[in-house]
Chain A
Amino acid sequence: MRETFAATVSEAMDRDPRVAVVLAAISAGMFRSAAARHPGRVVDVGIREQAMIGVAGGLALTGMRPIVHSYAPFLVERPFEQVKLDFAHQDVGAVLVSIGGSYDASEEGRTHQAPGDVALLDTLPGWTVHVPGHPDEARAALESAIPGDDRVYVRLSETSNRAPRPVDGRLSAVRTGSPRSAGVVVAVGPMLDRVLEATADLDVTVAHTSTVRPFDRAGLSALVGAAGNADVLVVEPYLAGTSAHEVAAALVDRRHRQLGLGVARDRELRAYGAPAQHARAHGLDAEGIAEAARGFFLA
């Protein structure tokens, strides 16, 4: 997805003179030729993440469309007050594009992991959040975000589904359960393939979205209305329960149950290894999801 990101943004720079890229050393090599073609529109501030966000806010104040990029912890967490004050408080926007997701950098350890990024952005108004599940979805999300003036976060990861799905902001059913089904499973972005595998023998509706903010509350309400039970399992690739308040708001008009799967909130996983091993440790592999789904829907 990182290569797709660099290619998509480089093409956008050729078309749209408003587009500028702000980096803090990371991925600078991928924008070297764009920088040569467009002097002054690729700004690498070095390893200075507060300045990276502030510079982006300043560029936006002059009418440019900044695209800001780094590893998720260095893009969202380290300069969080800049993200809060240098965009929304100034009434300007930007496209923030992270890599690393929750634990792509499993061998690097906790310092390079940011499972709380979406939850943090949830504390701020007006952010659209895309979590692409395929490189084609990453391209579609970027191509929809770049022409605007709003605040968009695109969370890239190395985990991908086999096939892309539409990036239209909606929660859409991939597999529809019977009118007596046990409920609805929401698979966010790259979680779809493993959710389909994990729930193959359950009568549930499986829905997918790669746009989690704004959350498609109407879409969830309709899917739950068509299901046999108002029970919702959300599987997200970041902090468990991040979208619980959205599910609650979508279903405020009826009695319902919900469970959120994701990266553990209650402990720091002190382990290296491969991303798949982290997925297993957090119960986010197909086996862990299947076990949680059976426990939730068949209880």
Chain B
Amino acid sequence: MCMTTATALSRYADLPALIGLMEGDEKHMGAAHSTLDVVWVLYDRVLAVTPATAEDPARDRFLLSKGHGPAAFYAVLAAKGFVDVAALRGWTAFDSPLGHHPDRVLVPGVEIGSGSLGHGLPLGLGSALGLRAQGVRRPDGAAPRVVVLLGDGELDEGSNHEAIAVAGRLGVDNLTAVVVDNASSTHGWPGGVAARFAGEGWAAREVAGRDHDALHEALTRPHTGRPLAVVARVRTR
């Protein structure tokens, strides 16, 4: 990892410039990425994982299930030192580790390869069950968290609903689903996305998806005995 550039470009305000290294146009970056704020809050204030602990069995895990548009994710990984900033420039090139869909084998800190929708939540559920079965504990004594980021459009995939039902019924409380809701589901979710999770036994919270303090509060308030769903409402400009 290139620590000099990582420390130079390590703030939230640097994310548009980092995204610009990939997408080449800085003017409207940031706002165009529905996941930018929630991914930043997770890595900056919620998840117990650093480049030094990226392989630690007791780390918190972030699974980007909605693999589309990963520039915001790569930018946060670069700002936090998981990915060399210089690598961003060559993204999507033949020999770049950074493609339009992330590959865990190629990118340090990426927990799953994603792109085909509906795989992240079942994988996250299995990871949470595996950590629970093995009794893994973080240094602070807490169970490692598994946080899966999905989109409301991605929820169209039935595999998510299989995992939502199982996680709720098994009370997998080290699992968190963050659903970035930009109203892109083809047929919508009458009654709201949160109700789909609440009905299956999850603690479900809705929050403004650009409000960092609100995101932090929703992601960290206790939810004992149940998995947590945080629906982050975002209007993509």
Contacts and interface: CB of A to CB of B under 8 A. Distances in A.
Given A40-B129, A48-B166, A58 B123 contact: yes
A229 to B, nearest CB: 46
B112 A54 contact: no
Nearest to B105: A91
A57 B165 CA distance: 18
B129 A43 contact: yes
Nearest to B133: A40
Interface in B104-143: 104-105, 111-113, 116, 118-119, 121-134, 136
Interface residues of A, number: 32
A82 B127 contact: no
A64 B133 contact: yes
A99 B120 CA distance: 28
A118 to B, nearest CB: 24
A90 B124 CA distance: 12
A61 B57 CA distance: 10
B25 interface: no
Contacts of B170: 43
A81 interface: yes
A59 interface: yes
A34 interface: no
Contacts of B215: none
A58 B104 CA distance: 13
Given A50-B159, A58-B126, A45 B166 contact: yes
B159 A82 contact: yes
Nearest to A43: B129
B158 interface: yes
Contacts of B158: 50
Interface residues of B, number: 32
A55 B134 contact: no
A48 B165 contact: yes
Contacts of B129: 40, 43, 55, 58-59
A58 to B, nearest CB: 2
B14 interface: no
B134 A58 contact: no
Contact of B127 (A17, A50, A59): A59
A276 to B, nearest CB: 37
Contact of A17 (B104, B111, B128, B134): B134
Contacts of B130: 20, 58-64
A43 to B, nearest CB: 6
Contacts of A58: 122-130
A12 interface: no
Interface string A56-73: 111111111010000000
B122 A55 contact: yes
Q: Which of B57, B116, B121 gathers most chain A CB within 10 Å?
A: B116
A194 interface: no
Contacts of A89: 103, 113
B111 A85 contact: no
Contacts of A17: 134
B163 interface: yes
Nearest to A45: B166
Contacts of B165: 46, 48
Q: Which of A20, A51, A85, A86 gathers most chain B CB within 10 Å?
A: A51
A82 B119 contact: yes
26 contacts: A43-B129, A45-B162, A45-B166, A46-B166, A48-B162, A48-B165, A50-B162, A51-B162, A51-B163, A53-B122, A54-B125, A54-B163, A55-B125, A55-B126, A57-B126, A58-B122, A58-B126, A59-B130, A60-B126, A60-B130, A62-B126, A85-B113, A86-B122, A89-B103, A89-B113, A91-B104
The 8 A-B pairs at the shortest CB distance, nearest first, are namely: A58-B126, A54-B122, A62-B130, A40-B133, A55-B126, A51-B162, A48-B162, A50-B159
Given A54-B123, A62-B134, 4 more contacts: A20-B133, A54-B163, A55-B123, A61-B112
